[in-house]
Structure 1
Amino acid sequence: MSDTTLAASSAASSGVTNTFSADAQPTLIRSAADITRLVNQGATKLSDARIVVAIALGGVFLDAYDLGGLAFGMKDITRQFGLSPSGAGLVASAITLGAIVGALFGGYLTDKIGRYRVFMADMFFFVVAALACAFAPNEWVLGASRFVMGIGVGIDLPVAMAFLAEFSKLSGRGNKASRVAMWCPTWYAAISISYLLVLLLYAVLPAGQTDILWRLILGFGAFPALLIIAIRHRYMNESPVWTANQGDLEGAAAILRRSYNINVEVADDANLTPQPPVRKAAWSNYATLLKGVYLKRTILATVTSLVSPFAYNAVAFGLPVILSTFLAQSLISTILFSLGLNLCFAFVGGLLAVRLVPKMGAWNMTVIGYTLQLIAMIGLALVGRPSDSAEAAISIAMLALFLFGQGFGPGSHTMTFASLSYPTSLRGVGVGFNQILVRASSTASLFLFPVLSAALGTGVFWVIAFAPLIGLIVLLAIRWEPSGYDVDAEDFEQIKA
Structure 2
Amino acid sequence: MPNYVLRGVGDVVAYIDSRPKIVGRAGVIWWLALGGLFLDAFSNSALSAGLGTMTGDLELSATQVAVLTSLASWVAIAFNPIGGWMADKWGRIPPLVLAKALALVGAALAALAPTFEFVLVGRFFVGAAYGIDFAIAMALLAEFTPARFKSRLNTWQGIWYTAVSTNLLLAIAFYNLGVGEAIWRWAVGSAGVFALLMLLLQATLMVESPTWLARKGYLERATTSMRKIYAEDFTAAPVEDRLPILNQATRGFANVALIFRGSYLRRTVLAATVQIGQSIQYFAVGWYLPIISLSLFGKDFIVATVGSLVFNLFGIIGGFMSPVIGKKFGLRKASAAGFGVVFVILVILGLGFDSLPLWLAFVLPSLFILFHSGGPGANGKSLSSLSFRSELRASANGVIGALGSVGAALGLLVFPILKEDLGLGPTFLILSVVPLAAFIICSVIKWDPTRAAISPDEELDAPQFKADRAVTFESAGK
Displacement of 1:66? 2.6
- Per-residue CA shift, 1:32-67, capped at 9, x if unaligned? 211111112226554211111111023321222133
Task: Judge conservation of contact 1:346–1:403 (CA < 8 Å) in 2.
Answer: yes
Aligned counterpart in structure 2 of residue 424 of structure 1, from 390, 403, 407: 390
Please give the alpha-carbon distance, in whole angstroms, between the structure 1 residues aligned to 2:384 and 2:418.
Answer: 30
Q: 1:329, CA displacement in angstroms?
A: 5.0
Q: Residue in 1 aligned with 2:164?
A: 191
| Structure 2 CA distance for partners of 1:272 and 1:28, relative to 1, 3 Å | closer
In structure 2, C-alpha distance between the alignment counterparts of 1:491 and 1:352, rounded to whole Å: 33
Matched AA of 2:348? G
Residue of structure 2 in register with 1:176 after alignment: 150
Matched letter for residue 199 of structure 1: I
Say whether residues 1:33 and 2:10 are aligned partners: yes
Residues 55, 491 of structure 1: alpha-carbon distance in 2 compared, 3 angstrom cutoff: farther
SS at match of 1:27: strand
Counterpart-to-counterpart distance in 1, 2:245 and 2:55: 57
Residue 320 (structure 2) aligned to one of 344, 351, 358:
351
1:285-323 Cα distance to aligned partner (Å, 9 max, x none)? 111111111111111111112111111111122211111
Normalising by structure 1, report the TM-score. 0.89
Answer yes or no: is 1:105 the counterpart of 2:72: no
Residue identity matched to 1:384: F
Counterpart-to-counterpart distance in 2, 1:189 and 1:310: 20
- Which position in structure 1 is the counterpart of 2:422? 456
Aligned pairs for 1:296-445 (under 5 A) are 296-343=266-313, 345-386=314-355, 391-445=357-411
Distance in 2 between residues matched to 1:242 and 1:137, nearest whole Å: 44
Q: What residue number does 2:59 align with?
A: 82
Query: How far apart are 1:407 and its partner, in Å?
Result: 0.9
Matched residues, percent identical?
A: 27
- Report what 1:13 is aligned to: none
Q: Give the TM-score of the pair, scaled to structure 2.
A: 0.92
Are 2:333 and 2:442, in contact at CA under 8 Å, matched by a contact in 1? no
Aligned residues: 459
Cα distance in 1, alignment partners of residues 17 and 243 from structure 2: 22
Contact 2:109–2:121 (8 Å) recurs in 1? no
* Corresponding position of 1:279: 249
* 1:210 corresponding residue in structure 2: 180
Q: Distance in 1 between matches of 2:159 and 2:333?
A: 22
For residues 412 and 335 of structure 2, the distance between their equivalents in structure 1, rounded to whole angstroms, comes to 23
SS of the counterpart of 1:265? Answer: strand
Cα deviation, residue 271, structure 1? 3.2
> What are the residue-to-residue correspondences of 1:72-151 with 2, within 5 Å?
72-151=49-128
Q: Specify every segment of 5 or more residues in structure 1 that has no aligned partner in the other structure, as ranges.
A: 1-23
What SS is found at the alignment partner of 2:113? coil
Letter of the structure 2 residue corresponding to residue 237 of structure 1: V
**1:176 and 1:484 in contact (8 A); partners too:** no
> What is the DSSP-based 3-state SS (H/G/I as helix, E as strand, rest coil) of the residue aligned with 1:479?
coil
| Residues 1:377 and 1:351: Cα distance change in structure 2 (over 3 Å) | same
Bigger fraction of residues in helix: 2
How many angstroms does 1:490 deviate by?
A: 2.6
User: Tell me, what secondary structure is at the counterpart of 2:351?
Assistant: helix
Letter of the aligned partner of 1:436 in structure 2? A
Tell me, which stretches of 5 or more residues in structure 2 are unaligned? 464-478
Give 1:358 shift: 2.2
Q: Letter of the 2:221 partner, please give it.
A: G
Partner of 1:67: 44
Q: Is the 8 A contact 1:326 1:385 kept in 2?
A: no
Query: RMSD across aligned C-alpha pairs, in angstroms?
Result: 1.7
1:355 CA displacement: 2.6
**SS of 1:137's equivalent?**
coil
Q: CA deviation at 1:452?
A: 0.3
Contact 1:44 1:167 in 2 (8 A): no
1:491 Cα deviation (Å)?
A: 4.2
